[in-house]
């Protein structure tokens, strides 16, 4: 899958130590496929980023935004810093890694399976949590381009 620069002209180094400390602070183990994407594509968007989901009424489609990043600098564009997240209002166990154009978090759902978290879209207006994939790899592999 191709990824396109979005936030940075030059891709920043992945702060793996900071990421690992943040994950340990949360008490979570993230899928290796996610960590590998962060190493190579943090802050980037997938060229084929569309995905489908079903809400209570019908099938819908949206697009994945930039992959949240962990940079070594302390810039205001940094998605996470240890102990802070832009989504503090989310339930425990819901950890965003991106969002759609409407600002709805695309997140890991660690609540039922801490080893293999499902992927969910959080409609923060209703509020409702919508399952979109069984796991991270299924989600990434299921992304597609405009038809």
50-85, pLDDT tens digit by residue? 999 998 788 999 999 999 887 766 554 455 543 445
Domain that holds residue 122: 3-142
Q: What is the CATH number of the domain that holds 28?
A: 3.40.1580
pTM: 0.89
In a domain, residue 117? The reply is yes
Q: For residue 94, what are its two tokens?
A: 């819901």
3-class secondary structure, 14: strand
Distance separating alpha carbons of residues 96 and 146, to the nearest angstrom: 24
In a domain, residue 147? The reply is no
User: Packing angle between helix 16-26 and helix 32-41, nearest 10 degrees?
Assistant: 150
Question: What is the per-residue pLDDT for 75?
Answer: 56
CA-based radius of gyration for the chain:
15
pLDDT tens per residue, range 108-147: 999 999 999 999 999 988 889 999 999 999 999 999 998 6
Query: Comparing C-alpha atoms, which of 17, 64, 73 is closest to residue 41?
Result: 64
In a domain, residue 50? The reply is yes
Tokens 């070594």 locate to 72
Residue 127, C-beta contacts closer than 8 angstroms, at least 6 positions apart: none
- Per the structure, the count of domains in the chain is 1
Q: Are 118 and 109 in contact (CB under 8 A)?
A: yes
């Amino acid at each position: 899958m191709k990824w396109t620069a979005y936030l940075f002209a030059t891709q920043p180094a992945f702060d793996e130590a900071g990421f690992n400390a943040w994950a340990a602070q949360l008490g979570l183990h993230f899928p290796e496929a996610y960590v590998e994407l962060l190493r190579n594509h943090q802050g980037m968007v997938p060229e084929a980023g569309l995905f489908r989901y079903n809400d209570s009424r019908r099938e819908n489609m949206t697009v994945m935004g930039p992959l949240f990043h962990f940079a070594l600098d302390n810039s205001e564009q940094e998605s996470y810093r240890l102990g802070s997240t832009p989504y503090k209002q989310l339930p425990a166990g819901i950890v965003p890694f991106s969002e759609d154009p409407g600002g709805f978090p695309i997140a890991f759902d660690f609540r039922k399976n801490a080893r293999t978290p499902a992927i969910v879209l959080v409609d923060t207006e209703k509020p409702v949590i919508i399952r979109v994939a069984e796991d991270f790899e299924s989600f990434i592999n299921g992304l597609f381009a405009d038809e």
